[in-house]
Structure 1
Amino acid sequence: MNRLSIILPAKNEAGALASLLPRLRAAQPGAEIIVVDDGSTDDTRAICESSGVTCLSSPYSMGNGAAIKRGARAAVGEILIFMDGDGQHDPADVARLLERLEQGYDMVVGARDWGSQAGVGRGVANTIYNWLATRMTGHVIADLTSGFRAVRADKFREFLHLLPNGFSYPTTSTMAFFRSAYPVAYVPIKAAKRVGKSHIKPFKDGVRFLLIIFKIATLYSPLKLFVPASALFFLLGCLNYAWTFMHGGRLTNMSTLMWSAAVIVFLIGLVSEQITALTYRRHD
């Protein structure tokens, strides 16, 4: 097996890391383990030193995605494992992801069941994400936002420039792999309850929900989102015209506005499609 690098983004997760790192070392004794300390104010660095793992520290918090990018750049392994530093993911499941990866896949994602979701709201949101991404790509996506995944390093680094610094790096990387025709597989896992307090805020989570919906479309095929929206505006314009013609024998400004919106939305979709194609053009 090629050298393995395990990357854990962590922000004030010393309590979880104290028990997680020894278990991870026992499960994968030959792996390079990198904890990316995202501006922690606790004993994260000391815990890493005592556990004999590499710790990359930031002077201030840059975000979960930024930590992932730093870890991916520093890792020397040909296969990268990303897992949360809060104790949710079982180190024993790393072997299951690697086994699946060796079957010819470029990314393998640990797919959580409903019982592993962090609350009903998050579960419903993730279900919507999975459904929409499945419709967009034509492939069954079991868990779009899971942070537990195994990837081939050379493939993953192709998309580092696309990854946001925030929490939606799993969405971005998954859609990028599908767009580039890199095979993706899913392995069912059970995620434990996190140790400590979550860093996700309800209001920001709601805004992030909307942003991820648009990101799913724009990262894969914008026309699959804009064409139905354009058709809806056109249909509403036709229905409004039929109503006003039957009751007043005239064409109203509202119908014209709807038809104009249909054309504008469709043209925006065409431009977005071209931008997306340029985004994935390789510059070797």
Structure 2
Amino acid sequence: MKVLQFTIPVPHDKSVIAEKVCLPYHYPYLHRHKEIQLTWIQQGEGTLIAGNNMHDYSAGDLFLIGANLPHVFKSNPEYFVPNSNKQIEALTIFFNPEGALAPLFSLPELKPSLIFMQQHQQGFKVPHSVVDKVSQIMIALQKASGPDQLIQFFHLLKGLTNIKTKLDPLSTYGNLPGITENEGIRIGNIYNYIMQHYSEPITLEDVAKVAYMTPESFCRYFKKHTGHTFISFLNEIRINEACKKLIAHKFESINTVAYKCGFKSITNFNRVFKCVIGNSPRGYLDSYNNNLISLNRAAS
């Protein structure tokens, strides 16, 4: 089966692509491409799905996404409401060490950078301690042209390669099967449906209909292409949203958050929360508040 890559437009006079987007929401379908992608979120909130894992994102976050890693920046549901006046803003750098830049990456001086990229093919979130430095280089690269843009690219590689903090991969499933264009749209539609209806009762039959499959076929298909069962993915979406609501302090009680996120049983909510997060809802909230107090004290 031929894998249709998402094609990044490459001008004939550039080997590094800088793309600034200001849109109502991010491209909503799961996709992959041969270029390594470095995306700095300047405005907007949502969930990054990369391989088999999910990560919250908000303004100021910076992610490196490895070549051919299936991913989608899924804007929060409110961004899809007509006339919401909400907008996302992001700056992305695309580059392919095996394409036009291959001769440069074959130089001994760039060997550390090439090894770094090979070691992080599953991507990572750039530590906040270096986001300011790296994002400023990205801005300079976007504004530059000709040889000056390539010089900024060298600075960017150096800034990434010099990161000393332990970097956790965005995806832990290894190599997911190739995603065709039609499969990317189908899985994107499945993700969209689940993320828009997670607070409601969702059955296997409901989501299988979205994919135009029988429940049995859907289970096999979803597991093959995401590394998740339907239930595990739905639970992670619900717990992910529960975490956002807990730390936002917009609800009167943990029980209310559980019901708002689609759980009908508090016992089940607590069990699933502990399984996904490794802590109880109360423990998670207390830990977050304590860390916030510590940060405020350190800043004062």
TM over 0.5: no
Give the TM-score normalised by structure 2: 0.28
Question: Based on CA coordinates, which of the two structures has the bigger radius of gyration?
Answer: 1
Q: Which has the higher helix share?
A: 1
